[in-house]
Amino acid sequence: MRPYVLTGGRARPRQRLAIETLLETVDPEGTELPVTASRQERMLWRMCRHRLSVAESAAHLGLSVSVVTILACDLIDAGYLTTRSQVPKAQLPDVHILQEVLDGLRRQLSA
Helix ranges (DSSP H) in the chain? 3-6, 39-47, 54-61, 65-77, 95-110
pLDDT given for residue 30 in this prediction: 67
Q: What is the pLDDT of residue 45?
A: 92
Q: Look at residue 109 and tell me whether its pLDDT is greater than 70.
A: yes
Per-domain residue ranges for the chain? 22-110
The model's pLDDT over 62-87, given as tens digits with 9 standing for 90+, comes to 998 988 998 999 899 888 998 887 55
Strand order in 52-53's β-sheet? Answer: 52-53, 22-25, 81-84
Q: Of residues 75 and 88, which shows the higher confidence score?
A: 75
Q: Which long-range contacts (CB under 8 A, 24 or more apart) does 96-103 make?
A: none
